[in-house]
Structure 1
Amino acid sequence: MNDRTPALQRPASRTARLSAIEQALLTRIVTSQSQLSQILADQGIEVTQATLSRDLDEIHATKTRLADGTVAYAVGKTGVEDHPAANPDGKAEQQIGRVLSGLVTSVAAARNLVVVHTPSGAAQYVASVIDKQPVEGVLGTIAGDDTVMVICADDDTAGRRAQWLLDVASKS
């Protein structure tokens, strides 16, 4: 993270802790609970081993063998060949591309924001897909009926992400 990127602040709640755990497993290769505990501690989240075990069970995290032989935690239906942390850009692009190719009608950058237009009723779905993928420099989204606002860490990132979203949406 560079000096200009705002740090993500999380409240001290169970829901925020579960979200932090899931995000760590989606964006990194985590091979042990002690490693995960340290990642959380670096974010100001202190957790006992027993609580961490329960949390991993609750979010249905499993250990899986990656293509290089490493055994790491994964969330959801992630398989050996497509752990997001093993290839974050390719994985995010594939999943986002499937949705965006039929639902994005225009993309524009404005300072640190990207405005994405969709057909009526599709914006919340598009925003949800973007939010669920670890996309570098994207802090989150806000969706209306036919417009998604993607909040980026800075102006340069917004410009790059707008072009990236346009490129991904243009693929069939």
Structure 2
Amino acid sequence: MTQQYDNMFRPATRTARLNAIEQALRAHVITSQAQLAAILAQQGIDVTQATLSRDLDEIHAAKSRLADGTMAYMLPDHDPNMHPEDLVDEKEEQHMARVLSGLVTSVARANNLIVIHTSSGAAQYVASVIDRQITQEVLGTIAGDDTVLVICATDAIAQEKTDWLVNID
């Protein structure tokens, strides 16, 4: 059985649920398990409090104090003093630029698709870095040994991402 939300179908599996939890924690300031369960329910994922508690423990999410004093669930790789929307724009983009600048050898675009050529063996890593972005602009990636296919939501987004990739230093 699958669940659909925002043009995306999510299989009703544990792995898909854990991924949805990680995405929710990266995209929202979540202060309680009830709030997280409500966000998941909007995506068609019904989860008990006990399961949610185990899932949070498994992905090593813990409550951290934000700059404004609020206690919120955060993943271990997030700075608790930054808001989730800032993470995409600044921290993630800087991290991506550092990683990709040494691995990307060429970039080409066709409509909403971007083809990224990398050093041999680096495509899987480059794809995983791109997949970790908190955005609905990039629908997903497919990676081989030295080539990554990035599927963007629109042609304009693909052009924007291509321009960024070409100009990273």
Tell me, in whole angstroms, the C-alpha distance in 2 between the residues paired with 1:30 and 1:166. 35
The TM-score normalised by the length of structure 2 is 0.89
Deviations 1:6-46 (A, max 9, x none): 52211111111111001111122212111111110110101
Q: Corresponding residue for 1:17?
A: 17
1:67 aligns with 2:72: no
Q: 1:6 to 1:166 in 2, by over 3 A?
A: farther
* Greater fraction strand: 2
The answer to whether the 8 Å contact 2:136/2:153 transfers is no
Correspondence list, 1:19-168, <5 A: 19-82=19-82, 84-167=84-167
Which of 127-136 and 12-21 deviates more? 127-136
Whole-Å separation in 2 of the counterparts to 1:41 and 1:149: 31
CA distance in 1, matches of 2:163, 2:136: 14
| TM-aligned CA deviation for residue 143 of structure 1 | 0.8
Residue 136 (structure 1) shift: 4.2
- When residues 165 and 31 of structure 1 are mapped into structure 2, their CA distance, relative to the original with a 3 A threshold, is farther
Work out the CA distance in 2 between the residues paired with 1:76 and 1:147: 29
**C-alpha contact (below 8 Å) 1:116/1:147 kept by paired residues:** yes
Quick check: 2:112–2:155 contact (8 Å CA) kept in 1? yes
Instruction: After superposing the two structures, state which structure 1 stretch, 110-119 or 64-73, moved more.
Output: 64-73
Is the 8 Å Cα contact of residues 74 and 80 (structure 2) preserved in structure 1? no
Give the C-alpha shift of residue 83 in structure 1: 5.5
| AA in 1 matched with 2:160 | R
User: Are the equivalent residues in 2 in contact too, given 1:92–1:135 (CA < 8 A)?
Assistant: no
Per-residue deviation, 1:101: 1.1
How many angstroms apart in 2 are the aligned matches of 1:147 and 1:68? 43
Q: Please tell me whether the aligned partners of residues 64 and 79 of structure 1 are also in contact (alpha carbons under 8 angstroms).
A: no
Distance between the aligned counterparts of 1:119 and 1:19, measured in 2?
A: 28
CA contact (8 A) 1:74 1:83 kept: no
- Between the two proteins, what is the percent identity of the paired residues? 63
Cα distance in 1 for residues equivalent to 2:6 and 2:56? 27
The number of residue pairs the alignment matches comes to 165
Cα offset for 1:60? 0.7
Higher relative contact order (CA 8 A, sep 6+): 1
In the alignment, structure 1 segments of 5+ residues that lack a partner are none
**C-alpha distance in 2, partners of 1:64/1:127?**
29
Structure 2 unaligned regions, length at least 5: none
User: AA paired with 2:63?
Assistant: K
- TM-score normalised according to structure 1 size: 0.87
Cα separation, 1, equivalents of 2:86 and 2:38: 20
Residue 163 of structure 1 aligns to which amino acid in structure 2?
Answer: D
